[in-house]
Homo-oligomer: A and B are copies of this chain.
Amino acid sequence: MLQSNERFRITYRLTCDADEDPYAKARDLALEQTVELPAEVLPPHIADLVVGRVEAVDPVGDPPGDAGVSAWRVVLSYEAEVTVGDDVTQFVNLLFGNASLKSGVLVEDADVPATLLMRCGGPRFGVPGVRAACGAEDERPLLCAAAKPLGLSPAELAAVCYAFAAGGVDVVKDDHGLADQAPAPFAERVPRCQEAVERANADTGGRTLYFPHVSAGADLAAQLEVVRAAGCRGIVVSPLLIGWETTRRLAADSGLVLFAHPTLAGAFFHPTHGIRPDVLLGRLFRTVGCDGVIYPNVGGRFSFTLQECEAINRRLREPFAVHRPSFPVPAGGIAAERVPEWLDRYGPDTVFLLGSSLYRQKDLRAAAARLVEAVRRRAAVGG
């Protein structure tokens, strides 16, 4: 007989049309995400233990207006071992898999079952490990610059990397559009860029790291071999493209720092249907082991609000299981001159990722050096 050991809770915000009953919609979701059968054909022990349990249905916000649309906060609980076990893929499936094909279902919060937390283990480096790798163990924010654009040769990309490293940023990362294209094949550009960063470090006494983007689109093992042989300490990955388990495995087994890129994530951010940004990029990316999570900062080229950005920061840093905190990496059009201001707002456990605003200054080394200096001054004042 099935026994219940641990239940975990998922909080949804359900948006109901005038003809939808929120209680019925909640029960439907509890069936859809587990047994995919109507309640009346289930054996009693399955109905009791396997189907999600509706723990709460509470109205949210204004009462329905003329259109009759209403919003409800719904908490479902699930039995952990029976529905998920230690399978991160199945966890995301249960969270929003078939629910994605319905409408008006927004994941607002999600516990992670204990067994899954143990298997995932969270960030292997996290804030302290990344600080140690960069030699930035003091209370200061880290600075990251993006090597780009797609289309440059390995030598040209290496020159960009040299300039940023010589300017003193902590991390130079590949643009996430750099894969294994003809202008700069992966196996050529990664050693060239790493060598350039090491040369800059030797020239300046710096400790800049270079994180190539591993698209995992070709032979992943071969790409990791190139990364390790070159001596890189970390990589950039795109969890929503390469899959949850591949990301988890890279965090657990590669020995490399993982910075996660949010590509494709916007598909989930419709205001009434999807997964809230702090749950997807904060809770879930951290759970599978991302040491840093890149997200589009408010006021840049994308559409997050300040509140959403701060919620992501909080999820990445808050005490959570025994997992290390991850670095928030705001990006997506941060102006270099505003970094000190963002530092005041987001605090020192932040990696600021810059691209365009450095490239606009033409002399990349000087641009990076100015940024480093401005942040150092502000951090000193703040401390």
Contact of A89 among B2, B45, B217, B362 (CB under 8 A): B217
Q: Report if A326 contacts B (CB, 8 A).
A: no
Contact bitstring A209-225, B, C-beta under 8 A = 1, else 0:
00000011110100000
Question: Is A306 part of the binding interface, using a Cβ–Cβ cutoff of 8 Å?
Answer: no
The answer to whether A161 has its CB under 8 Å from any CB of chain B is: no
- Of all chain B residues, the one with the shortest Cβ separation from A101 is B266
Chain B residues within an 8 Å CB radius of A216: 89, 243, 245
CB atoms of B97 and A264 under 8 A apart: yes
Q: Which of B87, B217, B270, B332 contacts A180 (CB 8 A)?
A: B87
Q: Are A360 and B243 in contact (CB under 8 A)?
A: no
- Looking at the complex, which of A7-15, A62-70, A77-85, A334-342 is the stretch in contact with chain B? A77-85
Contacts of A229 in B (CB 8 A): none
9 A–B contacts, CB within 8 A, in A order: A34-B151, A84-B181, A85-B181, A86-B180, A86-B218, A89-B217, A93-B241, A100-B267, A267-B267
- Residues in chain A within 8 A of chain B (CB atoms): 2, 28, 32-38, 40-42, 45-46, 49-50, 81-90, 92-94, 96-103, 146, 148-152, 175-177, 179-183, 215-218, 220, 238, 241-246, 262-270, 273-275, 296, 301-303, 332, 355-356, 359-360, 362
